[in-house]
Amino acid sequence: MLGGAIASADTLEARLRLGRFVGMVSSDENSYFLRCFDALGVDARAREAIPDNAATAGFKSLMREAAASRSYAATLAVLNVAEWLYLDWATRAPQPLPPRFEHAEWITLHDNPFFRDFVAFLRAELDRVGPAEDALARDFFQRAVAIELAFFDAAYDLPETR
């Protein structure tokens, strides 16, 4: 979906901002997940074997649909929901941060100047281009909100494991 956003962005500045975000997701965030999997004893085979739940499958499908739409507004609508939600959550995290890196680093990945600026950029971009495709942007935004809610609700439906 990020590739679709870059391809459909209507300014060079937007493409560069989105490209820098792809770099962060591909490096800092990706290595965070790999370190967490190692710390939690989840090997590559186990990662591949865990099936998507309905919300995860739905969000993946929505991201593919947004990218395939070739609409910058559609990709921005989905990105705004996902990234703004994480920023909002991370800025409310208690201080001091939790002692386990899996928790503390997830918070700091989503509460730092780069990420705050990026979410502000996403919001401004959607405000700028969304009105021209209001129905489409609204549709993708609302579906993304519903899927994100289902995703977080599903976490409470899992059996607790130690």
pLDDT tens digits, 6-15: 999 999 999 9
Residue 72: inside a domain: yes
Residue 148: inside a domain: yes
pTM: 0.93
Residue 162: inside a domain: no
Alpha-carbon gap, residue 81 to 158, rounded angstroms? 24
Residue 111: inside a domain: yes
Q: Which amino acid is located at 5 in the chain?
A: A
| Mean pLDDT across 145-159 | 90
Residue 36: inside a domain: yes
- Asked if 121 and 17 count as a contact pair (C-beta separation under 8 A), the reply is yes
Number of domains in the chain: 1
Residue 82: inside a domain: yes
Residue 57: inside a domain: yes
Band of pLDDT at residue 161, cut at 50, 70 and 90: low
Q: Supply the pLDDT for residue 157.
A: 83
Query: CATH number, domain at 68?
Result: 1.20.910.10
Residue 17: inside a domain: yes
Which SS3 state, helix, strand or coil, does residue 2 take? helix
Domain with 77 in it: 2-157
Alpha-carbon gap, residue 75 to 5, rounded angstroms? 6
Would you give the distance in Å from CA 81 to the centre of its chain?
8
